[in-house]
């Protein structure tokens, strides 16, 4: 197991927490100086907050831990490619690297639909590493949505 896979395993554990709470199973951790300084998993339904994405919660946690609004030198590990909102927060927080598992072809903003984090018009750009534990990260999402569809079909 390489270093990225080792850290992504922690993000995956966060995704499992979301799954157990009937949230879309996305998890994130932020690593700075070889330790986790922020964690998060989706809490949109629980908090009734459309901004309660795993990445946003992890960023809030990390800046509180390091005591700075800047996360320069830190790496975000997230199981699903960040959306436009999260990509904006990644740029604004000055994260150095984003490592993600599964691509999000519908709303991904770090290479699939858009690439906000590397847009040369912005004042900060982020290194990207993609496809880490991609199959495992995709499977938990597919399983979640399959069960959700089955539940919805039973209710109709």
Please identify every residue annotated as catalytic.
55
Element (H, E) at 38: strand 35-41
Q: What count of residues does the chain have?
A: 156
Tokens of 26: 């996305």
Residue matched to tokens 């609004």 = 69
How many CB atoms are closer than 10 A to CB 97? 17
Q: Please, are residues 71 and 93 in contact by the beta-carbon 8 Å criterion?
A: yes
Contact between 109 and 86 under an 8 Å Cβ cutoff? The reply is yes
Is residue 10 within 8 A of residue 3, CB to CB? The reply is: no
Give dist(CA 17, CA 4) in Å, integer: 20
Tell me if 77 sits within 8 A of 31, measured CB to CB: yes
């Amino acid at each position: 197991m390489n270093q990225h896979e080792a850290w992504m395993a922690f993000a995956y554990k966060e995704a499992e927490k979301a799954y157990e709470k009937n949230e879309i199973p996305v998890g994130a951790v932020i690593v700075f100086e070889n330790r986790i300084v922020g964690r998060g998993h989706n809490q949109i339904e629980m908090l009734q907050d459309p901004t309660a994405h795993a990445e946003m919660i992890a960023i809030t946690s990390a800046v509180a831990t390091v005591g700075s609004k800047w996360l320069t030198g830190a790496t975000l590990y997230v199981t699903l490619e960040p959306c436009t909102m999260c990509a904006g927060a990644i740029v604004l927080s000055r994260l150095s690297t984003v490592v993600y598992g599964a691509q999000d072809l519908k709303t991904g903003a770090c290479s699939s639909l858009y690439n906000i984090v590397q847009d040369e018009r912005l004042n900060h750009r982020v290194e990207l590493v993609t496809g880490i534990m991609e199959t495992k990260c995709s499977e938990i999402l597919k399983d979640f949505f399959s069960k959700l569809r089955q539940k919805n079909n039973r209710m109709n």
